[in-house]
Structure 1
Amino acid sequence: MERVNYTLLTEFILMGIPYPLRLKTFLFTFFLLIYILTQLGNLLILITVWADPQLHARPMYTFLGVLSIIDMGISCITVPRFMMNFILGIIPIPFSGCVAQLYFYHFLGSTQCFLYTLMAYDRYLAICWPLNYPVLMTAKLSTLLVAGAWVAGSFHGALQAILTFRLPYCGPNQVDYFFCDIPAVLRLACADTTVNELVTFVDIGVVVVSCFFLILLSYIQIIRAILRIRTADGRRRAFSTCGAHVTVVTVYYVPCAFIYLRPEANSPLDGAAALFPTAITPFLNPLIYTLRNQEVKMALKRMLGGPRTKSEI
């Protein structure tokens, strides 16, 4: 029986996304600034939630602290190597590095999907069942829910990594993307990828669609409850609390659906769309959750030793 003779790849070349060469210095500076602000902003939220007893004891801010950890991780996985292409040129990534990048991106990304759902459920209980909220959402329950999100995300990431890299890769090795992601890597496989594409579509589709549907259902109930609030100030505060979460969910889910939930995910716009969940959303989260959240701003004042207002005394 004749054996197929091929050499398996030991590295991949991430081609990045197309850009005018005259803008490479500007783009490097822009994404470097985005990366630094993302890390500092999320670290500041994490420290604030952990250090302030009033926030640390509340499940809503436990979820926010975990979200900051995830945002910092996703940004670290993708943005630094992406920035290197602007200054150092295209640098190969080892095969094992590509596997790790794909695993951790989908691990953290799916965990973030689950966490957004938990945050919507938390807001639903707080607004629709305010008197029973301390009983329904205890610190122990919120810890168990977060742990479950981490475990489910880890399983999802491992499944996608195993399915993707069980296939042989024998050349070419140029990934037409700025990080190792499933659609771009599968195009280089030296085998039939039909099963992989189907499983990826179904698996990611179940995670994204189910989480989005649960979030949508929660907010339908939340809006109904808010409209029953008699005072205009009460309605404004409730909408303000939920508006930040709705904004972040929209910015995160729409690009993900565009990338993964199409029959043939091979569009030049995929790279631009992927910048939202990898770079833009982690950058926006600290801004949205601090600028629109009065309790976080007051906690920052207390931590930095700022003057206390009457409402804080």
Structure 2
Amino acid sequence: MFLSTWNTMKLHEAQNSWHSDNWIFKFFLLVIVMVASFFIPQLYIQIYGEIARVGAGIFLGLQLVSVIEFITWWNNYWMPQNQSKQSCSFGLVMSIVFYIGSVCGIAVMYYFYGASTACGLNIFFISWTVILLIVMMVISLHSKVKNRGLLSSGIMASYIVFLCWSAIRSEPSHTKCNAHTQNSHTDWTTILSFLIAIGAIVMATFSTGIDSESFRFEFRKDEAKEEDDIPYSYGFFHLVFSLGAMYFAMLFISWNLSHSTEKWSIDVGWTSTWVKIVNEWFAAAIYLWKLIAPIVRQHRVHEQPQPTAAEVHR
């Protein structure tokens, strides 16, 4: 699908109908591919697994950019440049609410996952998350950042706290410091969590796939759209879904190609834990760079030597 739609530009092109229609044919094609996958030799499955690891990592990076772009859009929507006192107060209140939620999440994680000194790794994860929260808050309150980080920093704080919690939850069931995995039996909450996780990943994959504008180069973002232009990049959409499928595969095997996972478990294991922790740190780094990048670019522009009058008239 990616190869057949990557260069689609207009709605009247044949690739548009191939992307939007022919569902019966696509369904039978999907069934054929699924059946054929059972006859693929083990060697090729192993090779695909190694490729899927890389693809899943790329998908996480794309998803982070999409999430941060959405947070930035939300901040700009509620905190425009020509902000009034009412909008500024709303942004401040919502930022405080998100930060309070983040602090509560930190306290809960310390209570459940870091109550003992033997849980040194969990304490490190949570403490480093606290440091990231403080750094984001300090930078967002800087006068040069202005309103770019007021509301978005609070939302981002809640997001990285969630990533930290998700990483700790992915620790193996035999870990004594994981309060939620000490009971090894499977109950309805485990199954419900499994289904919710699947649904959330599907929604994240779809939203990232149609958010091709966030990944376009700056000189192409300002291009005017015509009426017959496609609403989003079909090729990018299918590329993201293929990467999302690789991410799904890694979740089901917990990023481990040599061992099978437990029943109704998804994304559990030390590899999954470290992937999520690195994802959290990477998310914080991207967000901090988006805050300071305009200041750095502005500083570089001021440092460039200005042309003299004689050079201008040449």
Same fold (TM over 0.5): no
Provide the TM-score with structure 1 as the length reference.
Answer: 0.35
Greater gyration radius: 2
Provide the TM-score with structure 2 as the length reference.
Answer: 0.35
